[in-house]
Structure 1
Amino acid sequence: MRAFGFDWQWRSSGEPLSIDDYRRAASRTVPRMVWSYIEGGADDLRTVAGNRTAFDDWWLVPSVLAGHDTHDLSTRVAGLPVSMPVLTAPTGFNGLTRWSGDLDAIRAAERVGTRCVVSTAATWSLEEIADAAGEQHAFQLYPGSEGVAAVLMRRAWAAGFRSLFVTVDVPTVGNREGERREGMGVPPVLTPRRLLDVARHPRWAYDVVRHRRIGGRNLASGNGVTAALASIEVQERHLVQSRLNWDDVAWMRDNWHGSLYLKGVLRPDDAVRAVDLGVDGVVVSNHGGRQLDGAIPSLTALPAVADAVAGRAQVLLDGGIRRGTDVIKALALGADAVLVGRPCLYGTAVAGDRGVEHVLTILRQEIERGLTLLGVRDVRDLDRTHVRPAGTRDQNEISIAAITTQ
């Protein structure tokens, strides 16, 4: 059925109004084992939860009578012009969510005027994505050994990518127990219950059988289960490297002639060292809570990293964004822009590229509404005067409280 321009499987619920509406709908469109991959994280999911609750630690502080009726959300990230400070984050094996997932993100991002960071583990190759794109996007690299990194960097450059995001927080794969409990492994474990669950999602199963876009096409050629398992093995054996160090970052800086960002930075001293080596930006990220459980939430780490970088490079935030006001808080605390991952997967699961477009449009509308209510015209005007830690009161508030209680 079609409603509101999308292919809804849940018309009775009406059009989704928020990212959380998309999340609930997405959970019904894919089998449980796939949902465990989309929504899961490491160990007890403390960091997954912390990425969300960290935004509750801050209040917004609005000004009134500001007199703004238009807003400027545009900026540049990694040299790329974007219509708002929101890019899609690199998420691997998007074909598990929907066979066209990587292309869905590209098409949607371009329609709303922003860009994607394409994953090494995309289910469409770098070359296929570049051919489908109408604009320039960024490439995310799992560096691995120098030889593997060099090949991927050459391919990315030849395909037209000029911005490289190097993920540095995967010296080993996190303990994702939720995925393992649902049979997501190498190879996946299929039980009668899991096969019945797949049968309850015939559209998803049909797309998997027909298109066979479930593996990492940059890591292994071909389609289907065999190629998918081979790509996962390549990723875990050759791209996950515990010996990766700062000399490797220096080598990548010397050999990549475009914008270079490090993704997975949580400490101020690491951010400073990266900038000293010549990187153009850092992404404050804990890998969506999928690596070290108990790691500091991204938003909590952001202010100290932004202060340490002190404008010498861009600072981006990844993790936990579900509202336009979340974006506003991140910008006020020092981020130049944010990356969103799971929300885009929710959109593609529900309605393909139109779903991703709607997710990004919801965020844009919420940012614009939030800026109006905050009394701010330009996203570049946001600073820490617009936020306050929750649960704290300044001396003036305490004096007023004392007067009103007398």
Structure 2
Amino acid sequence: MRITEALDFVGLTRGRPAGRHAHLYTIADVHRAACRALPRSISDYIDGGADDEISVAANKRAFQELRWLPAALVPADSIDTSTSLAGEDWSMPVGLAPTGYTRMIHPAGEIAVSAAAAAAAAPYVLSTVATTTIEDVTVATRAPWSQLYVMRDRALTDDLIRRALDAGSPVLEIAIDTAVAGNRVRDRRNGLVIPPRMTPRTILGIAVKPRYWMGMLAGESIDFAQVKASDTAGSLPGGSIADITSGFDAALDDAEIARIRALWPRTLLLKGPLGPQDAARVRDLGVDGVHLSNHGGRQLDRAVAPIDLVAPVREAIGPDALVLVDSGVRSGGDIAFAIALGADAAFIGRPYLWALAAGGQEGVERVLAILKAELARTMALVGTTSIRSLKERGPQLIAQRRTLGGN
């Protein structure tokens, strides 16, 4: 693909782009549009993190402190952003990370996100606490990757795995950073609950953001459809956020990972803030790789920024393991840094939720187009023409590199 074709994908070489989202040029633009569309409690749910939200800010800052040293005199008239992950070909090394309660952001929810990802040839990971079942997502678009919160009820856990297999999900990601729920102070102050309840604050919100609330009221009721479809024993009565998170297994250990490995014949990843020693150790359990994440700063505050783990983890587990990273990714330049440091792909969370709030499926497609154009431009300017060359030459292209334990 020529570099001008990549930029034309979002209309940036021929003036103002066409379409309802023509005014959205960057992820920051998308964020502002989402804030205009959403009630404060919902935008706080997306933007907020645990405790003092130090990790939320640090995740972005870790990317911002990296600097390029471009290679000189490298022809850049043809840029190839395509890559392969878990045996499938994708248009770029960008994925959509699992997020919960997506239909609370927009009535089209997970199906709109999955359809946008399919249109952009990007992987999408469905959360255990999704508001749409994996069966419905698969019928409407394609089989997503699956994220798994291991539940204390092993029959429930095993049924989630079985349903992912039956749906054709190619990848299972086990979240390992949710022994307890993070202390998300904004949500506590806002009294956020699932399903939403009519309170004086909700009624006031209808007056302030009528379009959002009319959309919610016109749609089907919101609940934790994905996990509840496997809860045949009723081990999660009530279905509130507290009910669901109280069902997570706080005693998750190596033996359980090995047990799930025996049940899952396809690509298996562990998702969380894994350091190099832990990443190397869990490879011995038979997992195929890691998804480095601190939950976007929503679980343990002051956790290391995942981008700082990429290089040491890659060194610890070797070139063949799959290494994904999320938390703080806000541009195509961030994605390029992730690849240069040794990741196979970078995943976004908040950016696509902002896009969903601002424009439904078209909004998510717009964000993915922006990121692809930014990635292609960055590759051209630093002197790499393919994702493979960006990864291979990455260490020489980064002038300032943060590492675990560094300054």
1:353 aligns with 2:367: no
Looking at structure 2, the residues matched to 184 and 284 of structure 1 have their Cα atoms a distance apart, in angstroms, of 28
1:335-354 C-alpha deviation (Å, 9 max, x unpaired): 11011111110111011110
Other-structure match for 1:311? 319
1:165-195 C-alpha deviation (Å, 9 max, x unpaired): 1111100000000111112146767653443
Quote the offset at 1:80 in angstroms: 2.5
Secondary structure in structure 2 of the residue aligned to 1:179: helix
Looking at structure 2, the residues matched to 365 and 253 of structure 1 have their Cα atoms a distance apart, in angstroms, of 37
Other-structure match for 1:46? 54
Looking at structure 2, the residues matched to 84 and 155 of structure 1 have their Cα atoms a distance apart, in angstroms, of 28
What TM-score results when the alignment is normalised by the length of structure 2? 0.88
Identity %: 38
Looking at structure 1, the residues matched to 238 and 382 of structure 2 have their Cα atoms a distance apart, in angstroms, of 49
Other-structure match for 1:142? 149
Looking at structure 1, the residues matched to 206 and 256 of structure 2 have their Cα atoms a distance apart, in angstroms, of 42
1:89 aligns with 2:97: yes
Other-structure match for 1:17? 25
Please point out which of 390, 396, 399 is paired with 1:385: 396
Aligned partners of 2:97 and 2:348 also within 8 Å: yes
Paired residues for 1:121-136 under 5 Å: 121-133=129-141, 135-136=142-143
Gaps of 5+ in 2: 1-16, 230-235, 403-407
Q: Matched residue pairs, number?
A: 376
Please point out which of 305, 308, 313 is paired with 1:297: 305
Looking at structure 2, the residues matched to 63 and 213 of structure 1 have their Cα atoms a distance apart, in angstroms, of 54
Secondary structure in structure 2 of the residue aligned to 1:235: helix
Looking at structure 1, the residues matched to 202 and 291 of structure 2 have their Cα atoms a distance apart, in angstroms, of 37
Q: CA RMSD in A?
A: 2.0
Relative to structure 1, the CA distance from residue 390 to residue 308 in structure 2 (aligned partners, 3 Å threshold; closer, same or farther) is: closer
Quote the offset at 1:231 in angstroms: 5.4
Paired residues for 1:228-377 under 5 Å: 230=239, 232-238=241-247, 240-377=248-385
Relative to structure 1, the CA distance from residue 67 to residue 115 in structure 2 (aligned partners, 3 Å threshold; closer, same or farther) is: same
Looking at structure 1, the residues matched to 347 and 60 of structure 2 have their Cα atoms a distance apart, in angstroms, of 14
Please point out which of 72, 75, 99 is paired with 1:67: 75
Larger radius of gyration between Structure 1 and Structure 2? 1
Gaps of 5+ in 1: 9-13, 222-226, 392-406
1:129-180 C-alpha deviation (Å, 9 max, x unpaired): 11011x4421111112332210100111111212111111100000000111
Quote the offset at 1:220 in angstroms: 2.8
What TM-score results when the alignment is normalised by the length of structure 1? 0.88
Aligned partners of 2:125 and 2:144 also within 8 Å: yes
Aligned partners of 2:195 and 2:223 also within 8 Å: no
Aligned partners of 1:288 and 1:320 also within 8 Å: yes
Relative to structure 1, the CA distance from residue 228 to residue 25 in structure 2 (aligned partners, 3 Å threshold; closer, same or farther) is: farther
Looking at structure 2, the residues matched to 229 and 77 of structure 1 have their Cα atoms a distance apart, in angstroms, of 38
Looking at structure 2, the residues matched to 113 and 350 of structure 1 have their Cα atoms a distance apart, in angstroms, of 21
Quote the offset at 1:76 in angstroms: 1.7
Aligned partners of 1:144 and 1:244 also within 8 Å: no
